[in-house]
Structure 1
Amino acid sequence: MTGKTHLIVSTGVTLSVMQFMGQGITLASAAIAVISSLLPDIDEPNSLLMQKTMPKKLLNFIKLFFAAAGIGFIAYCYLQSFYTPYSYGAGALLIIMCLVNQRLFRQILMILLGGLLLYVGAEAGPWWGTAGALIMVCALLPHRGLTHSLYGVVMWGGLLYYASIRLGVTLWIAGTLSYTLHLLCDMLTKQGIHPLPPLKWKLAVPLMSTGKFSGFLVESVCITLAFVMLWNAFVVPMGLVTYSWWEQVKAVWSSV
């Protein structure tokens, strides 16, 4: 499924279910539901999540920065005779990084970001290091690997559960449910998901192929169902409350 469909379906169904369950929906839980609806695709550098967090304009700016840093470093090494000629290789590497395609460049940035979080985790705490390690792993794994498995659900749900305890805000229900719905939607494709890698066991209900008419049809049905749930979860109760208020107003007016 496309990223937009995942965003609408997973977020919409999650918030509707939470409303039906009587769970308080806060801005934080809604934001977690949105993030979790796209998070499994963090292993795909060109996914909607990565395009929004690392847009082309930002990538182009970083590329220019790396190119300038590479040229400046080479010039510095030349003038100061700083470990020449070997230091030229480091500067050339920074320049070469700017010539790769957007997908590969996003992978490189994910690895660098993961390494930075690992370094920060040595002082700030293990959770930063864990997040850094996972980002680096996701950058190297094939699409629909670890993040599209039960391991991904457990790790993300566990992290949110820990955060919920520390912050005193219920986040794990919204995050775990939205993340799981993403995987269930991907089960509808021919590729399916492998819930327990490295086992080759696959869960797939091959109803659609993304980009084809079958994909358009299935995605349209899923989006429609999500909006129906949202309508019944939020709009209908608001209408009933408004009707109740109106009846009370009429009762008071008639008694005057």
Structure 2
Amino acid sequence: MDGKTHFVVGGIAGIGVASYIGAELPTAISFTLLGACIGLVPDLDVKGILSNKISLNKNWIVTLLGLLGLLIIVNSFIVYKEVDRWLGAGLGLALIILPPFLIKQKYMLLLTGIATSLIGMSQQSTWLMMLGVYISIAALLPHRSLTHSLIGLFYFSLIGYYLEKDFQINGILLVCVLSYASHLLLDMKIFPKNRKGVKLLQPFSKIEI
């Protein structure tokens, strides 16, 4: 399924939980937005809507490195002489030319995950630290691997548990579980649109459902 469908169905799951627990309007809106975002989470293992939104922007890094390269070139011709001048200019030129080809969005997502984990550790926030670990691992995985399995669902449910514990709002865990599960369900072969299903029992089984 495409990202829009996952977003909408995740949001519907959030509305369902809000209705089930009789949440007030502000909480119901929060659950809807939370569910919609979580509906996209398993696809952090591929370049998509959510991964592009939350990860550091590749273009910023490329631009900064390009500017640094330009400064190194100028500095080399002003300060250095002979061989050192050309070595410095070569390094600067490499910083301008190579980053657009070498820096991938997945690396930006990995850095985002690491940064999130470090912030979680500094704030002693278990759910934030675990979320950072999830993002980092997802950045390194092939599409529809562990993020699309029961292990991924269980791990994100733990994030939901600590998130609910932190915010003291009943229903957050249920939103996390149902919205995440909705993504796995929508990616199954039972829907004709899906050429491939999901391997819920990976890494223990490669059976595709």
Deviation at 1:34, TM superposition (A): 1.1
Q: Once the 2 structures are TM-superposed, how far is the Cα of residue 18 of structure 1 from its aligned partner?
A: 4.4
- Please name the residue that 2:40 is paired with: 38
Whether the aligned pair in 2 keeps the contact of 1:11 and 1:34 (CA below 8 Å) is yes
Question: In the alignment, what sits opposite 1:96?
Answer: 98
Q: Give the RMSD, CA atoms, in angstroms.
A: 3.2
Counterpart residue type for residue 182 of structure 1: H
On the 8 A contact 1:67/1:98 being kept in 2, the answer is no
CA drift of 1:131 comes to 3.2
1:113 aligns with 2:112: yes
Instruction: Give ranges in structure 2 of 5+ residues lacking alignment.
Output: none
Q: What is the CA-CA distance between 1:166 and the residue it aligns to?
A: 1.8
* Kept in 2: contact 1:114–1:135 (CA 8 A): yes
User: Are residues 1:48 and 2:41 paired?
Assistant: no
- Give the partner amino acid of 2:199: H
**In structure 2, distance between residues paired with 1:146 and 1:109:** 20
Q: What is the CA-CA distance between 1:74 and the residue it aligns to?
A: 5.3
Moved more, 182-191 or 195-204: 195-204
Residues 14 and 167 of structure 1: is their aligned pair in 2 closer, same or farther, counting only changes over 3 Å? Answer: closer
Aligned to 1:151: 151
Identity, % of aligned pairs? 26
Q: Answer whether contact 2:62 2:99 (CA < 8 A) is retained.
A: yes
Out of 197, 200, 206, which is 1:201 matched to? 206
Distance 1:119 1:164, change over 3 A: closer
Contact 1:192 1:202 (8 Å CA) reproduced: no
| TM-score calculated relative to the size of structure 2 | 0.75
For residue 123 of structure 1, report the CA deviation from its aligned partner: 3.3
Measure, in 2, the Cα distance between the counterparts of 1:105 and 1:74. Answer: 25
Tell whether the 8 Å contact from 2:199 to 2:208 is kept in structure 1 after alignment: yes
Specify the structure having the higher radius of gyration (Cα).
1
How far apart are the structure 1 equivalents of 2:158 and 2:141? 21
Worse-superposed segment, 187-196 or 114-123: 114-123
Which 4+ runs in 1 deviate beyond 6 A? none
| Matched residue count | 195
Q: 1:191 aligns with which of 183, 186, 196?
A: 196
Q: Mind listing any 5+ residue stretches in structure 1 that lack a counterpart?
A: 205-256
Task: Give per-residue Cα distances to partners, 1:202-249, cap 9 Å, x unaligned.
Answer: 342xxxxxxxxxxxxxxxxxxxxxxxxxxxxxxxxxxxxxxxxxxxxx
Corresponding residue for residue 161 of structure 1: 161
Residues 131, 7 of structure 1: alpha-carbon distance in 2 compared, 3 angstrom cutoff? closer
Which position in structure 2 is the counterpart of 1:177? 178
- Pairwise CA distance, 1:13: 4.1
What SS is found at the alignment partner of 1:99?
Answer: helix
Query: Deviation at 1:172?
Result: 1.2
C-alpha contact (below 8 Å) 2:14/2:33 kept by paired residues:
no
